[in-house]
Amino acid sequence: MDAATEREAILRLKYAYFRTLDLKQFDELGLLLTEDATASYEDGKTLLDGRDGIVAWLSEALGSPAIVTEHHGHHPEIDLTADTTATGTWYLQDRVIVPSADLEISGTAFYSDRYRKTGEGWRIAHTGYVRVFEEHRTHSTLASISFRSRFGS
């Protein structure tokens, strides 16, 4: 396949990651990962090894039907590094709503991914993000509770 076709396959892979995450389809999300995938969430505070560990953590953290999430990946920068490997950077905009706690968390981050082409196609071998900012608000009024930025404000 040509480079454009390979890049398109990787774009679709990451889009599927966001879709299955927000639909709480964690088993399907697991199929998008290599078996030995790693993840670094929450600015590296949560480090996970292996597909099963990543899926278990995401299921525990976001699996409750009382939590609604929204993840958008923008501005993908995909580099093919070899015939079967690639890297990607994505600008994330996300939102987590917990109505029972009257809480809304939103923010932005940069995902840094590594991809590997397997017999099943492209898979995520590593994913993780570093926050640009995170804001907590009261969901019912949108009153600010807290705001953190990597730039100190």
Q: Are 109 and 72 in contact (CB under 8 A)?
A: no
- Could you tell me the pLDDT band of residue 153, with boundaries at 50, 70 and 90? low
- Chain position carrying tokens 């480079």: 3
pTM of the full predicted structure? 0.94
Indicate which CATH number applies to the domain containing 8: 3.10.450.50
Token output for 86: 């690639």
Looking at the structure of the chain, the number of domains it has is: 1
Residue 64 has pLDDT above 70, yes or no: yes
Tell me what the mean pLDDT of segment 87-94 comes to.
98
CA separation for the pair 10, 127 (Å, rounded) = 13
Full residue range of the structural domain in which residue 60 is found: 3-149
Q: Is 102 left (phi over 0), alpha (psi -120 to 50) or beta?
A: left
pLDDT (0 to 100) of residue 1: 73
Contact 108, 70 (CB under 8 A): no
- Averaged pLDDT for residues 49-57: 98
Tell me, what's the pLDDT at 36?
98
Q: What is the pLDDT of residues 108-150, one digit of tens each?
A: 999 999 999 999 999 999 999 999 999 999 999 999 999 999 9
Q: What is the mean pLDDT of the chain?
A: 96
In this structure, the strands spanning 103-118 and 144-149 are unpaired
